[in-house]
Amino acid sequence: MFTNNTKISEVLKRGGTVVVPSRQRATAIRLAHVQGQLSAGLSHWPSCDVLPWSAWLDRTAALARHGALRGLRRLGAVEEWLAWRAAAIEASENTGVLMPATLADALREASSRVRDGSLRWPGTMSSESALFERASAIMARHYREQGAVSGDDWLPVLRDLSVTATPLLFAGFDEMGATLRQRLQDLGAIVDPGVDGTAINADEVVSAADRLDELRRAAHWSRTLLERDGSARVLIIVPQLAQCRAIVMQSFDHELNGSEACEGSAPGTRFGIEGGVPLSDYPLVSAGLGLLALGSGAVEFAELATLLRCDFLRCGTRAARAALELVLRDQNVVASNLVQLQAVARAAGAAWSEPMAAALETVLATVRHAALRYEEAGAWAPLFAAQLELWGWPGAQALGSGEQQQRERFEVLLGEFATLGSAGGPMSATAALKLLRTLAARTAFEAATDDAAVTVSAALGDPLVHYDGIWVTGLNAEQWPAPARADPFIPIHVQRAAHMRTASAAGQLENAQRAMAAWRQRAQTLVYSWPGSDDDVNLQASSLLRLPIGLEPGSRKELPRLHQDPLIAALRASARLELRPPEPGLVWPADRTLPRGTQALELQAACPFRAAAELRLEAAPLREPLPGLDLRERGRALHRALELVWRQLGGSLALRASGGSALLELARQASGQALGEVLARRVTPLSPLLLSNEQARSSGLIAALLEAEKARAEFTIDELEVSRAHQLAGVPIRVRMDRVDRLSEDRLTVIDYKSGAPKKFATDEQRPEQVQLLVYTLLIGAPLAGIAGVHLRSAGIHWRGAAADAAIFPGLSTRRRSAPPWSELLPYARRIVEALARDFAAGVAAVAPAPKACERCHLAGLCRIESERLALEETAVELPGVDDEC
């Protein structure tokens, strides 16, 4: 135990107390103590007294409450942060400081440094120092008025403390203030200055390709050590752990637990990450905060959908909540509050809707009154707890160990919120919830787990205990030694006079050298590494690393990656690819209309599998609500407006008789009426500005189209938005044509309106994009004289199609293209359309996408097109030489 830290070992043997900077270091020492006792063959022993600084100060303060602290209250962390935030705002008045509330933590840290070192600076102050002085004065007044002291103020706590009779050691405090150090030494405590020395060589120096490669190398190295010695303890130091926590978890989980997962056995806890993550990031806590937000205001759809899908509430059944989410998607609800949500559920008119609306009404009856109240912070905590109980948070399912600990920590946070009392003054439900969210985001939490063999930490100081292996990552020249980070509120000359090493480059160099000496002393095997690049920026190794030959600065050696993700490699190794012949679907019933009309044939042309998946299996993509009008609303409004325009004009005679201003006014009125009809079913109305912009856009496009149609040969409107039933290759289909015109000699033309990008129309493609126009061609037959799709976009109006002569649709031919020959259209349409109809009806569902059809398809995971291509490529590799021999 502590083979290279005799001070800690000796103090614990004598029954003394060891105080360290953090809870993680205290845990590491306790585990090392237990391991040492077991190695000595002991079955029982006295518990060791190892505490982080905050816990030791709390214990000492409890002894002083009848002495130096008599009548004084120590502020809790939350209350003190609120006080510093208020002080920062007040002190920053009329200074031009942006977002002064964000200065609370920095001001509090500066106050601690000033107190610990008894720092003073006479003379003219900088604007930052003056701000600090004003904030400190405000806090001193607050302490007097509240009869309180700072929670980390050691001066009154230690003032009357007697010299300790038992050994007391403070270890790992690299930069303790001189005044605090002297007071602790006066009490008989030993303040360990830490390992002193210069940078010492590591056993290995590793150059990685990038950060991900570096972390995978460290994880692989950890696994190698554990396979060699199952009782080994490993420390991985990642200086920027908060920024890369996700890839740290992936790298170590896949490396250390991946093979066990593939083998079907339950992996143990083989690694742990120090420091925790914000409490608000956990799904259970995030759900609780989201439910409270829904009771006090509107919630964005992404968060609302997550709430409806999660298992952390008991409001309605899971199926009812899923159905409600689909309704919200269909109605393009970008954000919703509880009142709107309840109204949407009731208006759905389905079997699930009334019970769901009743469940929401139960919650609404309570929160509708709370949303109008203004209460002090402490009064909101029980109200929030009652709302969560109404929602049934955290659900009916049994919580795992980690989730139970998250719940308990959140309930503790609500308890701390309740103790705030009048702090912050009366506030609305929205303001109170914002404060609670902020506190949850500031609360770092990590669920307690079993002892892990590998510890990942961001702490760069002395580990204090012995490890079988230590790997330090991120030692590139820009980060090691760390740049000088002076406290902005304390004059730089004062910091340097107090020997605050972080305030200067020389001090940071000393910090780096002391840390490297400590790592060397605490590790049996020590590895340093750095990433060779960060995105597109090339990085060099720190000058403190003694590089082996081939890795010196300026070396052009190419750095290969270690290996691919071990879990993915194991999955691929255990996979078995089987080529199976395509299986057709069931024959489509002869008396059943094709689903979605011509869209069934368009999907069949793009990819038979997608047509079957979407129209037979209902594997349609979920709509994502978007601000403003979505594409479907815009398309429906445009079609309706054009219908209204042509019902009034009736044909080309009235069109040509109308001037430009009259046509623009007609288009404006029709667009306004169409938008009103389409948007009437919306849960939340479109803002007046967006409505005005859309009306202007739509009317401008329609007016431009009307002017272009003046150049056409004479025509009258024969049909508008008429839906008819037809037969295609014996398959019933219902088709709705936007517009049918009648020309001279009773010839007909069909026009289809589109609001999307124009697509190619030709008679020489086996996988046509404009199948809808081909269907119209086949169904109208003689005396059809032209077919056209009109694409109305802000970039312009584009015509695609074919006609018997150029006067019918002058917009078809331009300098860059010409319309397909009219004589080829009907036989081409019959061949293509009837084949598509027969294939769909016969159940042809092969994964055979047209070029570019996969770019916007949502079914790649279902059809597994990439797996099929990979299998074909491997087959081609395994069977070489066939074509060569021929």
Q: For residue 300, what pLDDT is reported?
A: 92
Q: Over the stretch 632-652, which tens digit does the pLDDT of each residue have? A: 889 999 999 999 999 999 999
Mean pLDDT of 43-52: 88
Q: What's the mean pLDDT in 87-106?
A: 91
**Please, which residues have CB within 8 angstroms of residue 546's CB and are 6 or more apart in sequence?**
201, 205
CA distance 226 to 216: 15
Q: What is the pLDDT of residue 189?
A: 92
Highest mean pLDDT, choosing among 120-124, 241-245, 534-538, 716-720: 716-720
pLDDT of residue 268: 54
pLDDT, position 66: 77
Domain count, the chain: 6
Q: Which residues have a Cβ under 8 Å from the Cβ of 561 and sit 6 or more positions away?
A: 209, 213, 216
Residue 748: the pLDDT is: 94
User: H or E segment at 405?
Assistant: helix 401-418
Q: What's the distance, CA 677 to chain centroid? A: 37
Domain for residue 788, yes or no?
A: yes
Residues 433 and 307 placed together within one structural domain of the fold: yes
Q: 133, 114 in Cβ contact below 8 A? A: no
Q: Residue 535 corresponds to which amino acid?
A: D
| Whether residue 502 is found in the same domain as residue 434 | no
Regarding whether 661 and 687 lie in a shared domain, the answer is yes
Do you find a cis peptide bond into 581, omega within 30 degrees of 0? Answer: no
Domain boundary residue, one of 416, 445, 474: 445
Tell me if 832 is assigned to some domain: yes
Which of 445, 471, 491 corresponds to the end of one domain? 445
Lowest mean pLDDT among 352-361, 412-421, 461-470, 664-673: 412-421
Check residue 286 and give its pLDDT.
Answer: 95
Banded model confidence at residue 551, pLDDT cuts 50, 70, 90:
low
DSSP state of 232: -
User: Looking at the predicted structure, is the pLDDT value of residue 418 above 80?
Assistant: yes
If asked whether residues 140 and 119 sit together in one domain, one would say yes
Contacts of 281 (CB under 8 A, 6+ apart): none
Count Cβ atoms below 10 Å from residue 542 Cβ, excluding itself.
21
Task: Read off the pLDDT of each residue in 469-486 and give the average, rounded to a whole number.
Answer: 93
Q: Which residue has the higher pLDDT, 214 or 862?
A: 214
With CA atoms as reference, report the closest residue to 252 among 224, 222, 277, 219: 219
Within a domain: residue 746? yes
pLDDT band per the 50, 70, 90 thresholds, residue 553? low
Max mean pLDDT range (238-242, 672-676, 850-854):
672-676
Does the pLDDT value for residue 876 go beyond 60? no
The pLDDT, as a whole number, for residue 87 is: 94
Alpha-carbon span 737 to 714, nearest angstrom: 20
Q: How confident is the model at residue 784 (pLDDT cuts 50, 70, 90)?
A: very high
> What average pLDDT does range 103-124 have in this prediction?
91
Report cis status (omega within 30 of 0) of the bond before 625: no
- Examine the domain organization and report whether 290 and 404 are in the same domain: yes
The answer, yes or no, to whether residue 555 has pLDDT greater than 50, is no
* 197 found inside a domain: no
pLDDT at 262: 57
Q: What is the mean pLDDT of residues 363-371?
A: 80
Q: Are residues 779 and 822 in the same domain?
A: yes
Res. 94: pLDDT tops 70: yes
**Over residues 505-530, mean pLDDT:** 92
pLDDT at 323 over 90: yes
Check whether 883 has a pLDDT greater than 50.
no
Domain of 462, CATH number, reads 3.40.50.300
* Rounded Cα distance, 192 and 465, in Å: 14
Return all residues near 102 (Cβ < 8 A) that are at least 6 apart.
88
Out of 12-26, 785-799, 812-826, pick the least confident.
Answer: 812-826
In this structure, the answer to whether residues 343 and 387 fall within a common structural domain is: yes
Pairing mode of beta strands 335-336, 49-52 = unpaired
Is residue 794 in a domain?
Answer: yes
Residue 691: band (very low, low, confident or very high) from pLDDT cuts 50, 70, 90: very high
Q: In terms of pLDDT, which residue wins out, 488 or 885? A: 488
83/27 same-domain check: no
Mean pLDDT along residues 99-103: 91
Q: Residue 154 and residue 434: Cα distance in Å, rounded? A: 32
Q: For the chain, what's the residue count?
A: 886
Report pLDDT for 773. 93
Does pLDDT of 44 surpass 60? Answer: yes
- Over residues 845-875, the pLDDT tens digits come to 988 899 888 888 888 888 877 765 544 444 4
Average pLDDT, the chain: 87
Residue 565 — very low, low, confident or very high, per pLDDT cuts 50/70/90?
A: confident
Range of the domain at 137: 73-157
CATH number at residue 427: 1.10.486.10
Q: Which of 68-72, 194-198, 413-417, 453-457 has the lowest mean pLDDT?
A: 194-198
Assess if residue 557 is contained within a domain: no
Check whether residue 112 and residue 176 sit in a common domain.
Answer: no
Please indicate, yes or no, whether residues 743 and 836 belong to a single structural domain of this protein: yes
Give the confidence band of 57 by pLDDT, cuts at 50, 70, 90.
very high
Mean pLDDT of 249-264: 74
The 8-class DSSP code of residue 427 comes to: B
Chosen domain end from 710, 740, 768: 710
Domain-located, residue 579: no
In a domain, 703, yes or no: yes
Rg (CA), the chain: 37
Q: Is the pLDDT of residue 563 over 70?
A: no
Residues contacting residue 510 through CB under 8 Å, at least 6 positions apart: 501
721 conformational bin, left if phi > 0, alpha if psi -120 to 50, beta if neither: left
DSSP state of 46: P
The predicted structure's pLDDT at residue 877: 37
In a shared domain, residues 38 and 184: yes
For residue 43, what pLDDT is reported?
A: 82
d(CA 386, CA 394): 13
Provide, rounded to the nearest whole percent, the portion of the chain with pLDDT above 90. 49
Q: Give yes or no: residues 465 and 422 share one domain.
A: no
Q: Which residues pair with 472 in a beta bridge?
A: 237, 528
Among candidate residues 782, 760, 756, 783, the one with its CA nearest the CA of residue 773: 760
Instruction: Name which of 124-133, 201-210, 815-824 the model is least confident about.
Output: 815-824
> pLDDT per residue over 794-810, tens digit each?
888 999 999 999 899 99
Strand-pair partners of 115 = none
